Amino acid sequence: MTSRDSAARSAAAFAPRRIGAMVLRYVYVLRGSWPRIVELAYWPLMQMVMWGFISKFLATHSSWVAQGAGVLIGAVLLWDVLFRGQLGFSVSFLEEMWSRNLANLFVSPLRPYEFVAALITMSLIRTLIGVLPAVLLAILFYQYSVFDLGLPLVAFFFLLLMLGWAVGLVITAIIMRFGLGAESLAWIAMFAIAPLSGVFYPVSVLPEWLQLVSWALPSAYVFEGMRAVIFEGTVRLDHLATALALNFVYIAVAAAIFFYAFQVSRRQGLLVTMGE
């Protein structure tokens, strides 16, 4: 293999190998620090413990919860998919800021969209590491298996991840543009979506004007869809289709914002100074 061969390979517009390199970089970080892996699973587990007991209590005091066994636990798990999906994306990006590595990456043949693909892959990996222990805990301690949702669970999972990626793209764009001062957005931004998504209650509970906002969120369709499966045993394909369509729109808009922020960073020299 000559340097000319590797240079020719580097010029390819899309290279799974480069995405793999970035995923490997993040896997090295996780592999080298067991506290980080524990941290990924810690909050979902604590949430599960708490909501598991709340569910147990409400099952005997609320007919709504009693009718829909596991509706709150299922909601907690799916909410974590959304939250962890976004966090997994944003934190992987922040790793580059913290280590002042962005300039090294973008002097290499790595394309910004390959970088995004690696962040998406890491979002999936980190979400699975974070949520699976909580899923097992729910089965063992509360006799509730989220897998009972059946095939729609796969759709719910990916629809929420997609929304997490869209939000992650916007957050990373803001961090790229305004620096590490904006990094706390990665942890708090998602909580603005939670009340509007109808995670623990139907969207109909919201004031009418707020319901309009809620129905603009793919997550609202997912959580309503989850309740439809649990309470009525029906799969709302219309909800799934609407959520998917909205996700495509949001990801397209978020990607445009991310790539615009990347260009602005190149124009203002932020890639060189970031993280300092």
Partner 1 sequence: MIDAEARKPDIPHMDDQASGDTTPPSMTTPAPSIDVRGLTKSYGSVRAVDGIDFSVAPGETAALLGANGAGKTTTISMLIGLLIPDSGSITVLGEDMGRHRYRVLGRINLSSPYVDLPRRLTVEENLKVFGRLYGIGDIPGRIDELAQELDLGPLLRRPSGALSSGQRSRMALAKALINRPEVLFLDEPTASLDPDTADRIRTYLTEYKTQENATIFLASHNMTEVERMCSKVMIMKAGRIVRSGTPQELIAHFGRTTLEEVFLDIARDRSAP
Q: Is 3 in the site for partner 1 (CB under 8 A)?
A: yes
Shortest Cβ distance from residue 182 to partner 1 (Å)? Answer: 20
- Is position 13 an interface residue for partner 1 (rule: CB under 8 A)? yes
d(CA 191, CA 169): 16
What angle (nearest 5°) sits at the alpha carbon of residue 133, between those of residues 192 and 24? Answer: 85
Closer residue to partner 1 in complex, CB, 17/143: 17
Check residue 14 for interaction with partner 1 (CB under 8 A).
no
Smaller CB separation from partner 1, 48 or 102: 102
Between 62 and 99, CB nearer to partner 1: 99
Q: Residue 68 has which token pair? A: 């829909």
Q: Of 111, 124, 109, 103, nearest to 23 (Cα)?
A: 124
Contact range with partner 1 by CB under 8 A, out of 20-28, 46-54, 55-63, 162-170: 20-28
Q: Which of 6, 143, 204, 234 binds partner 1 (CB under 8 A)?
A: 6
Contacts of 105 (CB under 8 A, 6+ apart): 22, 96, 115
Q: 210: which residues sit within 8 A by CB, 6+ positions away?
A: 196
Q: Which of 210, 14, 176, 194 is nearest to 86 (CA)?
A: 194
CA dihedral 93, 99, 105, 111 (to 10 degrees): 0
Which stretch, 28-36, 135-143, 184-192, 196-204, contacts partner 1 (CB under 8 A)? 28-36
Q: Which residues contact 13 (CB under 8 A, 6 or more apart)?
A: 111
Binding to partner 1 in span 92-151, by CB under 8 A: 95, 99-111
Number of residues lying near partner 1 (CB under 8 A) = 46
Residue (18 or 227) nearer to partner 1, CB: 18
Residue with smaller CB distance to partner 1, 25 or 56 = 25
Q: Provide the mask over 252-271, with x wherever binding to partner 1 is found by CB under 8 A and - wherever it is not.
A: -----------x--xxxx-x
Q: Report the SS3 class of residue 70.
A: coil
User: Smallest distance from the beta carbon of 34 to partner 1, in angstroms?
Assistant: 13
Joined together, the tokens standing for residue 16 give 């799974």
- Write the CA distances from 169 to 14, 90, 120, 190, 221, integer angstroms: 20, 8, 10, 12, 21
Q: How far is the CB of 118 from partner 1 (least distance, A)?
A: 11
User: Which residues, including other chains, have CB under 8 Å from residue 86's CB and lie 6 or more apart?
Assistant: 123, 163, 164, 165, 167, 168, 171, 186, 189, 190
Q: Which stretch binds partner 1 (CB under 8 A): 26-34, 58-66, 152-160, 181-189?
A: 26-34
Would you tell me which residues interact with partner 1 (CB under 8 A)? 1, 3, 5-11, 13, 15, 17-18, 20-22, 24-25, 28-29, 32-33, 95, 99-111, 263, 266-269, 271-273, 275-276
